[in-house]
Amino acid sequence: MRSLLSRSLNRKAPLPGVFAGMSAGDMRVFQEILYAQSGIVLKDSKRSLVESRVAQRLRALNMHSYSQYLDYLQSGTPGDELVHLIDVISTNVTKFFREPDHFEILDESVERWVADGRKQLRFWSAACSTGEEPYTMAMTLQPHQQRHDLDLKILATDISTRVLAHAQTGHYAADRVASVPDELRARYFRSRFGSEQEAYVVADELKSLILFRRLNFKKFPYPIKGAFDGIFCRNAMIYFDRDLRTRMVYEFAKLLRPGGILMIGHSETLIGIEKKYRTIKPSVYERLNDGVDG
């Protein structure tokens, strides 16, 4: 009997780094905190995902339960912990030349603007993740800069400090650059061999075009000076409610020059909130010259 009881107790004892499941009450508090801090809307069905990602912070802080972590977050003294929480919750799915038609439109738009005599162009990758999007923009734009001696810059922002740190290094494993055409990979990447696999580093001529900064879409007004010729905000608004999406789209309108383009994800739409824009095609919009700043 004693050995059976002992084995039963041993099964119930928590293993290092293994935590009891997140309660519905704790999940609601995480939902409230993340919405208040970042605008991210987490559905109840995402509880297992939240459990696994928040567990990373529990291990880092040597805490033993989700409730203990929530007490810490709400204590008023978490320092940068809210940033770390947003970092682990944020979903970052990206690749080079994702949704390639957008970069074709970017290329065509720049050709048109240059033909109209434009010499200074500014662009914003608003949810840049680990950097593939702004570096793809730079690969698209750099030939124009070289050919026409343009004053060209790209602002790249994200809420996650973790992905921004990765983006700034410009280091990518070989499988991550597989979607880059061979000619562009040879021109804009330097091959490096690590201990196990080949990796690539973005060339300085692309890095010099991009400024990386942290930005929270929920904090208005955005601390950015316009006017931009193009804004890419793709596959980010799907994580927010309609109110925040509407405010974002109007904020983008303030920062876009008339005739500038806004690119959103193919699964996203501005239906009902597009009055400051003309639809060029699904997911691509042009800022109207309506004489209204916002």
State how far the Cα of 225 lies from the Cα of 234, in Å rounded to an integer. Answer: 20
The answer to whether 245 is a known catalytic residue is: no
Here the tokens at position 243 are: 């109110």
Identify any residues that bridge with 190 across adjacent strands, giving them in sequence order: 201
| Residues 18/59, Cβ–Cβ less than 8 Å | no
State how far the Cα of 245 lies from the Cα of 236, in Å rounded to an integer. Answer: 9
Active-site residue, from 26, 87, 158, 229: 158
| Residues 54/30, Cβ–Cβ less than 8 Å | yes
Buried-state track 27-41, b at ≥16 Cβ within 10 A, e below 16: bebbbebbbebbbbe
The answer to whether 158 is a known catalytic residue is: yes
Here the tokens at position 285 are: 């919009």
DSSP 3-state assignment of 225?
coil
| Residues 133/235, Cβ–Cβ less than 8 Å | no
Active-site residue, from 53, 118, 176, 187: 53
| Residues 134/163, Cβ–Cβ less than 8 Å | no
Strands 189-193 and 198-202: antiparallel
DSSP class of residue 236? Answer: -
| Residues 224/122, Cβ–Cβ less than 8 Å | no
- CA distances to 17, 103, 271 from 106, rounded to whole Å, are 47, 5, 22
DSSP 3-state assignment of 80?
coil
State how far the Cα of 272 lies from the Cα of 281, in Å rounded to an integer. Answer: 16
Active site residues: 53, 158
